[in-house]
Amino acid sequence: MKIVVLVKHVPDAQFDRHLNGAGNTVDRDESILSELDEYALEAALQLAEARGGSKAGNQVIALSMGPSGAVNAVKKALQMGATEGVHVTDDALAGSDAAATSLALAAAVRHLGGVDLVLTGMASTDGETSLVPAQLAERLGLPQVTFASTLEVDGGRLTARRDADTSSETVEAPLPAVVSVTDQINEPRYPNFKGIIAAKRKSITTLSLADIGVDPAQVGFAGSWTSVASAEQRPPRTAGTIITDEGDAGIKLVDFLAAQKLL
Amino acid sequence: MAKVLVFIDNPGASLKKSSLELLTLARSLGGSTVALNGDLSDGVAATLAEYGVGNILRPSAQDLDDFLVAPKAAYVAAAAEASGAGIVLLDNSPEGKEIAARVGIRLNAGVITDVVAVDGDGTAHKSVLAGSYSTACKATTPVSVLTLKANNVIPEPAPAPTTPETATVDVPAVAAAARITAREQKVASGRPDLTDARIVVAGGRGMDGDFGPVEELADALGAAVGASRAATDAGWISHDAQVGQTGKTVSPQLYISAGISGAIQQKAGMQTSQVIVAVNKDAESPVFEIADFGIIGDVFDVLPQAAAEIKKRKG
């Protein structure tokens, strides 16, 4: 099987994150592999391992689009066990919204050729829009299975389960397909020493927009279909009244709710 | 004024509050058309008229629910073209956002999710990076596709009701879509949906396996029940209840956090709530840094006492 996993280099959500520059884009210093993408990578590794791994010709390709630092997300994926890495990078990509991102990623997937499955996380932890997997499927004309909490592949078909608020669904689709997975699907592995050493020998292919046949005018600020006109940092929330329970805190809570007209 | 298309999916016997919010916003932006999927019940037809809807579109195909989103997106895009809409509005559910994503590609239109308000010129307002920034953004394309977060518009019927016309839209064939082969309905809790509830009571590790006090307080307040990831991972409550970065993002009028320390992942899912109340034994919990009203105390004492007091006052 040839599986492409989309991995994104995002600012660590444990720290304060910032927008800056004329286009109000995310400051990408202090970035890491998006936590939610680790579940997609783990799902890909398990599918490949169940089929005899790389020795049996299974490929798990970690694909990232982004500035030079984004190669770190690919490296982490290689350490976890991806067989090869692809980094799409070009100055013209800066400022791409979901539509422009999905355009470039679709071109990269086509460029790789013969892909059976594209796996992604349920959302990035920076933009958090969840738009890219569905847009990628629409652009590639492939079936889309989003928010999968289980995933099985048998022959040329996949079966997945999705949980919605009021129902759980079982879905089936022929391959090739685009699948996004939730954090319920597995427990991602940590890279071990062997994996870290092995990753140093794996190749990372760098692709420019010209390599994947994308016109720079279709991506970046110029090619995006949305723009951020202004961004204001919200004042951080400040602590209000704090009391220690002296046997009547439940009543004081109700007094507070009544005063706020919330009852 | 723009022409606005609102997508409403399987409303059943009556429209949800989030649909009424979409219709109210649509009317403030221009003339509204509804693209409906599913049955048009008498109750829904009456409400659409009351909310000033000009036209109701229905799909030519009956099997949209048998597939994941792709055919619904094809229908909504065709309905947008048929109605000449400049703005397409959908709800902010995961499915609403996915349909919006694909409609955007089909119409060469910019998509903005998590919208809380829209100006007359189509500028949309939303918060990003876990509520740390408020942004104003706009589609640069002739059509924009927006998904509206619940609880940000007050539903209001039109000054005068309309008599909507109904028409059918041909649903274009979709090359490939995943088929839904089985669907299990979950048992309805009778409580409001977490994502559009006005009040949320959420429990965490401090509930120690017993969500009874959280549910009791939620029921006294007419609230939805939420939980931290620690509580859902422990199996104390369904994963559907998870609030946080990898769960649901909520922004209710009141969020009561019980026995949750308030790690950043959890805070990310709730810090745009208007009023935050925290109850926790540990005075050092980070949640107290953002709570409007904090109680250092035992959840098993404070929550039942508050629930009993509310019932007493409500008589």
Answer for the pair B73, B45: CB distance below 8 angstroms, yes or no. Answer: no
Nearest to A183 among B130, B246, B293 (CB): B246
Nearest CA in chain A to B142: A225
Residue A257 has pLDDT above 90, yes or no: yes
Q: What number is the average pLDDT over the span B135-142?
A: 96
Is residue A173 exposed (0-12), middle (13-18) or buried (19+ Cβ within 10 Å)?
buried
Residue B234 CA, chain-centre distance (Å), reads 26
Residue B119 has pLDDT above 90, yes or no: yes
Conformational region of residue B80, where left means phi above 0, alpha means psi within -120 to 50, and beta covers everything else: alpha
For the segment B37-93, what is each residue's pLDDT rounded down to a tens digit?
Answer: 999 999 999 999 999 999 999 999 989 999 999 999 999 999 999 999 999 999 998
Residue B260 CA, chain-centre distance (Å), reads 23
State what percent of residues in chain B have pLDDT above 90. 78
Q: Do A165 and B194 touch (CB under 8 A)?
A: yes
Distance from CA of A197 to the nearest CA of B (A): 31
CB contact, 8 Å: B42 with chain A? no
- Confidence label for B249 from pLDDT (cuts 50, 70 and 90): confident
Which residues in chain B have their CB less than 8 angstroms from residue A14's CB?
264
Q: What number is the average pLDDT over the span B121-147?
A: 92
Which residues in chain B have their CB less than 8 angstroms from residue A185's CB?
none
- Confidence label for A26 from pLDDT (cuts 50, 70 and 90): confident
Nearest CA in chain B to A17: B129
Global pTM?
0.90
**Average pLDDT of every residue of chain A:** 93
Residue B116 three-state SS:
coil
Is residue A187 exposed (0-12), middle (13-18) or buried (19+ Cβ within 10 Å)?
exposed
Q: In whole angstroms, what is the distance from residue B197 CA to residue B190 CA?
A: 12
Size of interface A-B (CB pairs under 8 A): 274
Provide the ipTM. 0.91
B 183-222 near A (Cβ less than 8 A): 183-186, 188, 193-195, 199, 221
CA nearest A64: which of A83, A48, A77, A80?
Answer: A77
